[in-house]
Amino acid sequence: MPHPVSRRGVLAGGLATLAVPAPPSSAGPAGETLGALATAKGLTLGASFAVHETDGPHGERYAALYAREVRSLTSELELKLSVLRPDPDTIAFAPADRLFAFAERQRLAVRGHTLVWNDDVPEWFKALSRREAGYMMDAHIETVLGRYQGRAAAWDVVNEPIAPWDNQPGNLRAGPFLTAYGEDYIARAFRLARTLEPRAKLVLNEAFTETDDARGATFRASLLALLRRLADRGAPIDAVGLQCHLSSRHRYDLPRFTAFVEEIATLGYDIHLTELDCDDGAFPRDIARRDAAVARLYADFLGAVLSIRAVTSLTFWQLADTTSWLYYRDLAERPRAADRPRPLPFDGTFARKPAWTAIADAIRAMPPR
Ligand code: XIL
């Protein structure tokens, strides 16, 4: 049977009118979804969404999974500078337009990811002079927020400002935006975003703060110090995003991590967990044991972090194993079917895994927001 979503139809916005089929039987009792459980507690639950996945053979079921299970979508690729601006003369809005249309059709909120990120810059942009790069940063924020004004509930305005290995003052990540404006690029981006988006939650998003090791400690200390400097300067930041790409290869000291999250809350920010998943590469090979280990890490992590009421938003990085960035990334090292990564609450058939139950239980047990 030919796939019902033709390429032309999708490019013309056909997905927006795509009928979403009934949930598969694995959905369980009506209303029993992670999104519904979270909403009942006042927590926004979402997942990253890649609009090109809806063009694949699993496209309809992928769309149905999101429509059923979550309340919010984060654009995984569509709003990134490297995707939107492949060359100086092009602004490729079509994928982001399709994502917004799908979200609005399904009444899902959007988290816009991301406006300013020193690590995701196309080659032509790297060749700009300091002045040009500064001008382009401002113009990019104005162009993107201008086009989608009022349609996203949250924007990751600045992504991953910290990178100790770049040896910059404040452990800031090097790149054209830091070069253009110094540390002020961050406050400047937020101020500009606020003028165009008075109501959306403006988020500073950071990676690598979770682990119990020297890297985690450096990221936590550098981020807290940066947030204090930004608060002193009155940068209009509503929430701090913590990516939370968990891994079987790392250790976690959850009391230490929750103390860090509480400290962010004390500074007056909400906390969004923005990219939760679990790299299972070092867990047992046996699938049942591996799934159990992934579920346990989710249970421990969420049991601790969701106890903090300032955590108002929880987003997974994709929902199903076979559309995870880890699934695509590890294709070469883990090619055997039984070894493929299983980082998420749904498997490749979009059926619930033990992780789903662990996550649902953690949401049921958390205090309401
Ligand atoms: C990743 C996507 O998942 C990949 O598909 C892409 O190739 C690279 O970017 N931190 C972030 C996200 O803030 O934007 C990254 O997303 C994952 C790490």
Q: Closest Cα to atom 5, ligand 1: which residue?
A: 325
- Mean pLDDT per 10-residue segment, the chain (369 residues): 31 40 47 93 98 97 98 98 96 98 98 98 98 98 98 99 98 98 98 98 98 98 98 98 98 98 98 99 98 98 98 98 97 94 98 98 98
Cis omega (within 30 of 0) for bond into 54: no
Q: Which atom belonging to ligand 1 lies closest to the Cα atom of 50?
A: 5
pLDDT for residue 2: 31
Q: Which residues form ligand 1's pocket by a CB distance below 6 Å?
A: 76-77, 159, 207, 243, 275, 325
pLDDT for residue 105: 98
Q: Where are the domains of the chain?
A: 40-365
What 3-state class would DSSP assign to 74? strand
Rounded distance between C-alpha atoms, residue 366 and residue 258, angstroms: 14
pLDDT for residue 32: 92
Q: Closest Cα to atom 16, ligand 1: which residue?
A: 76
CA of 169 to the centre of ligand 1 (A): 25
pTM exceeds 0.75, yes or no: yes
Q: Closest Cα to atom 13, ligand 1: which residue?
A: 159
Q: Which atom belonging to ligand 1 lies closest to the Cα atom of 114?
A: 14
Q: Which residues contact 2 (CB under 8 A, 6 or more apart)?
A: none
CATH architecture of 40-365: Alpha-Beta Barrel (3.20)
Rounded distance between C-alpha atoms, residue 305 and residue 72, angstroms: 20
pLDDT for residue 31: 58
Q: Which atom belonging to ligand 1 lies closest to the Cα atom of 160?
A: 13
- DSSP class per residue in 290-342: HHHHHHHHHHHHHHHHTTSTTEEEEEES-SBGGGSHHHHHTTTT--SGGGS--
Q: Closest Cα to atom 7, ligand 1: which residue?
A: 325
